[in-house]
Amino acid sequence: MNPAIRAKGAGNKAFVNARLIDPANQTDTVGGILIQDDKILKSGADVTADTVPDGYLVTDLNGACLAPGLVDMRAQLREPGFEHQETIETAGKSAATGGITTIIALPNTDPVIDDVAGVEFIARRARKVGLAKVFVYGAVSKGIEGKEITELGLLHQAGAVAFCDGIQTISSARLLRQALAYSTFFDGMIVQHPEEPELSKGAAMNSGELATRLGLSGVSPLAEVIQIERDLRLVEMTGGRLHFAHISTGESVEVIRKAKKRGLKVTCDTAPFYFALNENAVSDYRTFAKLSPPLRSEDDRQAIVAGLADGTIDAIASDHNPQDVDSKRLPFAQAAAGGVGFETLLPIALELYHNGHMSLLEVITKLTHVPAGLVRVKGAGTLEDGTAADLVIFDPDRPWKIDPYQFQSKSKNSPFDGRLTQGRVLRTLIDGREVFTEGA
């Protein structure tokens, strides 16, 4: 941004005639927003073309939706260590295209983010790139080896918003117990990848008819709920705050629903893969549909949709996991698991709205306000006066066909390849700067 222009107030923008979705206040109205430099000055129904003060660049959105920029609480940026798959810069461009303005990155890089220097490195790189705001999870165990606990408190102080062991399950009951107990003194949160590792060893997909037909070793969907049930006992024992990432089975939803009723401090998220696809996407050994956790049965998919609708599942995260061609063009059992997700997060989540499972406001809330609250990132996921002008403007109805080769991400491994979908990001703003403009 040119500071000279900013000084003259040309950085002041107004968007009017928008469908204003404000998840913090739970409102969905026609209105506008005033942006002064990098902050939201004011938003609401009373901001119209007639009330915008002088000195603002006014844009009429013709009824397009305006919401806080998406807060993606689970993504892999692959930098440092795997820059051939993604970098903070390519991830930032991809996120901007997807309307994401805040990313919480997993620590399973090389080196692992298990010390203060790592946290600071990511923060510095992200600032330099100047796209999405990037926060990190600190590793729970040193080197993600599942043995020794990291300096949770110092990591927290340095800016790690919560803790997890990347794509690994924290399988040691002792380690998880200590992490949960210790992190209570600064209200830290532990994020678990719930998959009982012994049961899932060597598995390539969900167990069941298709795995049997394809001759692939499968993991029972129960491996997820078995891990969750044990972990809930540890939450009860320690009073810690535990979040289950990308839950994928009906049993998990049921168990977490009951735990919440009992008042345990547990939350969970899921990724679009698990409410929009089932195991049949694997069809003929399609490695783009190899994910972790694996895609489940249609019954499980429907249970995940129900869990989102009734509020058991708190948030939606992209689970962005870039993999290069060589990691995917392999026999299924050898191929890497994971799919890119930034640029499909919003349209696939909007299917929940288009299919009548949730209101638009509810969908956006799970993509913004709720995840921001879980990781305690202040000023994100809201249209509150005075907060950063991180915004997404989108047309919820615009149809398009997903073509990964158009993605900004360095990797193209999307299981949604070729899917017809609805909902397109038109503009993304970060600190008042337009970092993505559709068609530009």
Partner 1 sequence: MSVMGPAADHYPHPHLLGIEGLTPGEITLILDRAQHYAEKNRSADKTSNILAGATVVNLFYENSTRTLTSFELAAKRLGADVINMTVGTSSVKKGETLIDTAMTLNAMNPDALVVRHGDSGAVKLLSEKVNCAVLNAGDGRHEHPTQALLDALTIRRHKGRLHRLNVAICGDIAHSRVARSNILLLNTMGSRVRLVAPPTLIPSKIDRMGVEIFHNMEEGLKDCDIVMMLRLQLERMEGSFIPSVREYFHFHGLDRAKLANAKPDALIMHPGPMNRGVEIDSEVADDVERSVIREQVEMGVAVRMATLEMLVQNHRKMGGQA
Binding positions for partner 1, rule: CB under 8 A: 201-202, 207-209, 211-218, 220, 284-285, 326, 329-334
Among all chains, which residue has been given the structure tokens 């800016």? 159
CB 408 within 8 A of CB 94: yes
Write down the least CB distance from residue 207 to partner 1, Å: 5
Closest contact distance (angstroms) between CB of 204 and partner 1 is: 8
**CB-wise, 172 or 217, nearer to partner 1?**
217
> Three-state secondary structure along the chain?
CCHHHHHCCCCCEEEEEEEEEECCCCEEEEEEEEEECCEEEEEECCCCCCCCCCCCEEEECCCCEEEECEEEEEECCCCCCCCCCCCHHHHHHHHHHCCEEEEEECCCCCCCCCCHHHHHHHHHHHHHHCCCEEEEEECCEHHHCCCCECCHHHHHHHCCCEEECCCCCCCCHHHHHHHHHHHHHHCCEEEECCCCHHHHCCCCEECCHHHHHHCCCEECCHHHHHHHHHHHHHHHHHCCEEEECCCCCHHHHHHHHHHHHCCCCEEEEECHHHHHCCHHHHCCCCHHHCCCCCCCCHHHHHHHHHHHHCCCCCEECCCECCCCHHHHCCCCCCCCCCECCHHHHHHHHHHHHHCCCCCHHHHHHHHCHHHHHHCCCCCCCCCCCCCECCEEEEEEEEEEECCHHHCCCCCCCCCCCCCEEEEEEEEEEECCEEEEECCC
Question: Is the Cβ–Cβ distance between 106 and 137 less than 8 Å?
Answer: yes
CB of 285 to partner 1, least distance (A): 3
Q: Please give the Cα distance from 317 to 2 (Å, whole number).
A: 33
Whichever of 255 and 282 has its CB closer to partner 1, that residue is: 282
Residue 172's nearest CA partner among 201, 137, 207, 196 is: 196
CB 208 to partner 1: min, Å: 5
User: Smaller CB distance to partner 1: residue 79 or 279?
Assistant: 279
User: Cβ 330 to partner 1, closest distance in Å?
Assistant: 7
Q: Pick the closer one to partner 1 by CB: 311 or 331.
A: 331
- Rg (C-alpha) for the chain, rounded Å, is 21
Choice between 211 and 374, CB closer to partner 1: 211
Active site residue 38: no
Q: Residue 24 or residue 333: which is nearer to partner 1 going by CB?
A: 333
Catalytic residue among 72, 114, 314, 319: 319
Tell the smallest beta-carbon distance from residue 281 to partner 1 (Å). Answer: 15
- 29/212 with CB nearer partner 1: 212
Q: How far is the CB of 306 from partner 1 (least distance, A)?
A: 23
- CA 159 to chain CA centroid, Å, is 18
Shortest Cβ distance from residue 253 to partner 1 (Å)? 21
Q: Hey, what are 63's tokens?
A: 């009824």
Choice between 332 and 342, CB closer to partner 1: 332
Pairing of strands 241-244, 70-75: unpaired
Positions annotated as catalytic residues are: 319
